[in-house]
Amino acid sequence: MNLNIIILAAGNGKRMHSAIPKVMHKVGGKTMLEHVLICAKKLKPKTINVVINSSIEDIKKSFLKFNIDWHIQAEQNGTADAVKTVLPKLPKDEKVLILYADTPLINFLLLEKFMNYMPQSTVKVLTAELETPFGYGRIIREESEDEIVRMIVEESEADEKQKKVTECNTGIIFSDTTALEILIGEVQNNNSRKEYYLTDIVSIANKKNLLVVPLLAKEADLVLGVNDKLQLEKTEQIFQNSKRKNFLEQGVTMLDSSSVIFKGDVKIGTDVEIDANIIFEGNVILGDNVKIRSHTIIKDSTINNSTEIKPYSIVEDSVIGSNCKIGPFARIRPNCNLEENVGIGNFVEVKATTIKKNTKANHLTYLGDSEIGSDVNIGAGVITCNYDGVDKHKTIIKNNVFIGSDSQLIAPIVVEEGVTIAAGSTITDNSEKDSLLIARSRQQEKKNWKR
Is 443 a domain residue? no
- Largest Cα separation within the chain, whole Å, is 111
Choose one of 223, 254, 278: the last residue of a domain. 223
> Taking Cα atoms as reference points, which of 199, 175, 177 lies closest to residue 187?
199
Q: What are phi and psi of 349, to 5 degrees?
A: -115, 130
CATH code (residue 404): 2.160.10.10
Which H or E run includes 183?
helix 177-184
Confidence of residue 113 (pLDDT cuts 50, 70, 90): very high
Active site residue 363: yes
Kindly state whether residues 267 and 212 are assigned to the same domain: no
User: How, if at all, do strands 436-437 and 420-421 pair?
Assistant: parallel
Is 104 a domain residue? yes
Kindly state whether residues 187 and 286 are assigned to the same domain: no
**End-to-end CA gap in the chain:** 92
44: left (phi over 0), alpha (psi -120 to 50) or beta: left
| pLDDT score of 144 more than 60 | no
How many CA atoms lie within 13 Å of 271's alpha carbon, on the beta-carbon side? 7
Beta strands in 130-208 (DSSP E): 138-141, 149-153, 167-176
Over residues 128-137, the mean pLDDT reads 88
Kindly state whether residues 159 and 59 are assigned to the same domain: yes
Kindly state whether residues 87 and 210 are assigned to the same domain: yes
Burial 48-73 (b: 16+ CB within 10 A, else e): bbbbbbeebeebeeebeeeebeebeb
Over residues 22-44, the mean pLDDT reads 98
Residue 82: what pLDDT? 97
Name the DSSP letter for residue 187: -
Mean pLDDT of the chain: 95
| pLDDT score of 210 more than 60 | yes
Contact 144, 226 (CB under 8 A): no
Which H or E run includes 3?
strand 3-8
Distances (CA, A) of 280 to 76, 188, 259, 265: 38, 48, 11, 9
How many percent of the chain have pLDDT more than 70? Answer: 99
Over residues 95-123, the mean pLDDT reads 96
Kindly state whether residues 128 and 73 are assigned to the same domain: yes
Residue 12: what pLDDT? 84
From CA 140, how far away is CA 206, in angstroms rounded?
12
Give the contacts of 39 (CB within 8 A, at least 6 positions apart): 99, 106, 107, 108, 111
Residue 407: what pLDDT? 97
Q: Note down the domain range covering 195.
A: 3-223
Name the DSSP letter for residue 91: P
Amino acid letter at 368? G
Confidence of residue 133 (pLDDT cuts 50, 70, 90): confident
Residue 134: what pLDDT? 86
Residue predicted with more confidence, 147 or 213? 213
- 158-162, 278-282, 391-395: which range is least confident on average? 158-162
Please state the domain count of the chain: 2
Over residues 52-61, the mean pLDDT reads 95
**Rounded-to-10 torsion of CA 119, 124, 130, 132:** -170
Kindly state whether residues 82 and 208 are assigned to the same domain: yes
Contact 2, 94 (CB under 8 A): yes
Amino acid letter at 329? F
Kindly state whether residues 94 and 211 are assigned to the same domain: yes
Confidence of residue 132 (pLDDT cuts 50, 70, 90): confident
CATH code (residue 38): 3.90.550.10
Residue 204: what pLDDT? 96
Digit-coded pLDDT (tens) for 354-373: 999 999 999 999 999 999 99
CB atoms near residue 313 (< 10 Å): 24
- Write the burial class of residue 218 (CB in 10 Å: 0-12 exposed, 13-18 middle, 19+ buried): exposed
Catalytic residue among 17, 25, 363, 393: 363
CB atoms near residue 30 (< 10 Å): 17
297: left (phi over 0), alpha (psi -120 to 50) or beta: beta
Residue 89: what pLDDT? 96
Digit-coded pLDDT (tens) for 331-357: 999 999 999 999 999 999 999 999 999
From CA 293, how far away is CA 255, in angstroms rounded?
10
Beta bridge partners of 47: 4
From CA 350, how far away is CA 328, in angstroms rounded?
14
Kindly state whether residues 335 and 274 are assigned to the same domain: yes
Is 235 a domain residue? no
Digit-coded pLDDT (tens) for 405-443: 999 999 999 999 999 999 999 999 999 999 999 998 888
Digit-coded pLDDT (tens) for 217-273: 999 999 999 999 999 999 999 999 999 999 999 999 999 999 999 999 999 999 999
Residue 48: what pLDDT? 98
Is 215 a domain residue? yes
